[in-house]
Structure 1
Amino acid sequence: MNANQFEGTRQPMVVFAYPAGMDIRQLRYFLAVVEHGSFTRAAAMTGRTQQALSKGIAALEQQLGARLFERGSRGARPTAVGRLLLDHARTADDTLRTFEQRLQELQTGTEGEIRIGTGPTAAGSVVAPAVLALRAAWPRLGVRVTGGVLPELLPALLARELDVVIALDTMLQTDPRLHRDLLVNDEYRIMASASHPLAGRAGLTAADLLDHPWVMGRRLGEVQTQFRQRFTDAGLSPPAQSLESSSLDFVRTLVRDGAYLTLLPTRLVHVELASRQCTRLAVPGFSWERPLVVYTRLGEPQSDPQARLLQALRNAAEQAG
């Protein structure tokens, strides 16, 4: 890139149509309060003290000569002026972030960066193959991957700490600020070791499942609600959930060595199923199909790295399907 081209990339920094002296940090504080609905949560998500964030918002209100938020017991809601500012602030923030990304690419010689949040089911079956394909085609693309469960990853996506989240959708409702793109469907099933007393048995019922210990994943959402409802519908109490873990290695060990039952997506244990270390129990009514979904922020333009990742994810899901 020559000097003239570089100067061209700097133009977004001087075209914001706001009062002189307005600080981009103030706009980002404003956006954080809108996103999180309170000054306390916004301060926590931006890594600032509540005093510093409130001071920045107050300075912005003084410049504009109007209040931006109505503060009440339910948090902070934008006023009419706040709503008017919102779209312009988002545009300014997006423009500056694009400039910052391109400047980093110029200075570091990278081809951009993508920050990925992934649930355990997507991590090995879809995200890892997609990242391998991305890095093969764009070796200078920076990639950061964060693992977790959906209720923890989506707030990070809304807070702009992540660019994309890939996970099984275990919830009934999705935040209207998010866009969902279906990759493939997966199926939750009851899993046991191949040597388990129930393995291979026909005619299993809900009552048979109560004679054995269980270990459950953490925060399974609607799937866990429906799992417990199956027992209630049969006039039974659901299994006592004395063991719960977000660690797949822990769950695998208990299922393999401790004769525990568990409820997992099929893709998460495809290696164990293929090697016959693990088996799916055939219990009528105890299977739930859930979509493996890519989440992005609604209405935002895709960066080049994000567009590349989404295509690689679709290719990986198609090949894995």
Structure 2
Amino acid sequence: MDIRSMRYFVAIVDHGSLTRAAEVACVAQPALSQQLAALEAEYGVPLVHRGPKGVKPTEAGKTLYRHARTILKQVESAGADVRAAGAGVSGAVAIGLPTTAAAAFGMPLIRAVRERYPQVRLQLFESMSGYISELLNNNRLDFAILFRDTPSRAIEPEALASESLYLIGNLPESTGARRRRPAGAGRGTIALKQLAGVPLALPSGSQGLREVLERNFAQAGVAPNVVADLDSLSCLLATAREGLACTILPASAVNPSDAAMPTRLILPELRRTLSLCWPRALPRTRAAEAVAEILREIVAARIAQGGSLKPAPGMPDAVPE
């Protein structure tokens, strides 16, 4: 298996189609099919499932895909480092941002990278954290922001900040929380135990936020009444806005134009940690380190502003000027 074969196989898996992969790789489809057949003969196992809707990798194919991605990234990094030696920072940097993090940091990051490192080509993937984690595990990203603080075999997290979680939306009258909310206040509070029975729309179980919530609900002995699993920030907010169910999100997720939407701090306070997560299998390129440093600066500046972001556990409370 050579580098060219790796590129062809990665293109097939990425696009799920031999025809589309051939177009992207600028090679005739019969030649691409022959390369795939040669790989399957070399390893002695099927690497893809062929069907009317395209091709999908087998378990063996997924394993080869992860390794091929890693090797191609290392080859690309080596070339970028050689070209950058003695020159400015350059090269492609692929990062993943969950939707709430993208709303807060995406544009400031793009502006700063363009200003400081015009030779860096930023590739930004915005999605729910579960999909971002999948991209990171498959070595498709240089790094990502994830809501986790524990390392794994594949990921090394670096805590950047933490933020409180709020109940968003109108509560049933039976909870009594609305009456205790100060008149005219933009935000009130609610005890975690009062959420028993409250209809909730939450991200699905594969998302970092859901894991944080389930852990805290279990510790409090409260069974969450989840009526919808929505992996869409806009749908979560719309569901709360229309009174269909409440949701739980950081305050930064709520648009200032939604100031009239009830937003209550949950007590005891629930917090999630924002971490810069690096894939252990990939080298950290000079360009990736430069972009990561900009992101650290942006987050530190937000903490210093005294908004919803706070230092992560173990971080100093004060941010040096």
Per the normalisation by structure 1, the TM-score is: 0.62
Deviation string, structure 1 residues 16-55 (Cα, Å, up to 9, x no partner): xxxxxx622456799x8xxxxxxxxx97458587995573
CA distance 1:257–1:162, change in 2 (3 Å): same
Other-structure match for 1:243: 228
Does 2:288 correspond to 1:306? yes
Task: Looking at secondary structure, tell me which structure has more strand per residue.
Answer: 2
Q: In structure 1, which of residues 202, 212, 223 is the aligned counterpart of residue 212 of structure 2?
A: 223
Partner of 1:79: none
Structure-2 separation of matches of 1:27 and 1:253: 44
Q: Which amino acid aligns with 1:225?
A: E
Equivalent residue number for residue 167 of structure 2: 190
Q: Runs of 5+ in structure 1 lacking a partner?
A: 1-21, 33-41, 62-66, 69-74, 77-81
Matches within 5 A, 1:47-86: 47=16, 53=36, 55-56=38-39, 58-59=41-42
What's the CA shift for 1:304?
3.0
Distance (Å, rounded) in 2 between the aligned partners of 1:102 and 1:282: 48
* Map of 1:167 onto structure 2: 146
- Residues 192, 255 of structure 1: 8 Å contact kept: yes
CA contact (8 A) 1:255 1:262 kept: yes
- 2:139 pairs with 1:155: no
2:272 corresponds to 1:290: yes
Q: For the Cα contact (< 8 Å) 1:168–1:293, is it kept in 2? A: yes
Give secondary structure in 2 for the equivalent of 1:183: strand
Structure 1 CA distance, aligned partners of 2:228 and 2:90?
44
Structure 2 partner of 1:11: none
Q: How far apart, in 2, do the equivalents of 1:298 and 1:153 lie? A: 15
Work out whether 1:177 is the aligned partner of 2:154. Answer: yes
Mark the runs of 5 or more structure 2 residues left unpaired by the alignment. Answer: 19-32, 46-58, 182-188, 304-321
**How far apart, CA to CA, are the structure 2 residues paired with 1:118 and 1:305?**
17
Give 1:290 deviation, angstroms.
Answer: 2.0
- Residue identity opposite 1:135 in structure 2: R
Deviation of residue 152 (structure 1)? 1.6
- Tell whether 2:243 aligns with 1:261: no
Aligned runs of 1:9-48 on 2, under 5 Å? 23-26=2-5, 44=13, 47=16
Alpha-carbon distance between aligned partners in 2 of 1:182 and 1:207, rounded to the nearest angstrom: 29
Deviation at 1:259, TM superposition (A): 6.6
Q: Which has the larger radius of gyration?
A: 1
Structure 1 residue 243: deviation in Å?
2.3
- Tell me what 1:209 maps to: 195
Which amino acid in structure 2 is aligned with residue 238 of structure 1? P
1:252 aligns with 2:237: yes
After superposition, the C-alpha distances for 1:183-217 in whole angstroms (9 at most, x for unaligned) are: 11122232336999734627955564346432222
Q: Cα gap change, 1:228/1:27 in structure 2, threshold over 3 Å: closer, same or farther? A: same
The answer to whether the 8 A contact 1:131-1:309 is kept is: no
Structure 2 counterpart of 1:246, one-letter code: D
Question: 1:187 and 1:51, CA in 2 relative to 1: closer, same or farther beyond 3 A?
Answer: farther
State the shift of 1:119 in Å.
Answer: 0.6
Name which of structure 1's ranges 305-314 and 159-168 shifts more when overlaid on structure 2.
159-168
Read off the aligned partner of 1:310 and give its amino acid letter: A
Q: Report how far residue 272 of structure 1 moved.
A: 6.4
Q: Find the aligned partners of 1:91 and 1:256 in 2 and give their Cα distance.
A: 43
Pairwise CA RMSD: 4.4
- Report the Cα distance in structure 2 between the residues aligned to 1:116 and 1:123, rounded to whole angstroms: 11
Q: Could you tell me how far apart the structure 1 residues matched to 2:294 and 2:179 are?
A: 38
Q: Which residue of 2 is the match for residue 320 of structure 1?
A: 302
SS in 2 for 1:133: helix
Contact conserved, 2:200 with 2:224, CA < 8 A, in 1?
A: no
| Secondary structure of 2:229's aligned partner | coil
1:121-170 superposed Cα distances (whole Å, 9 cap, x missing partner): 2112223322221112233432222112222222222333222211222x
Displacement of 1:118 after TM fit?
0.9
Q: Per-residue deviation at 1:228?
A: 4.3
1:316 positional shift: 0.6
Query: How many corresponding residue pairs?
Result: 257
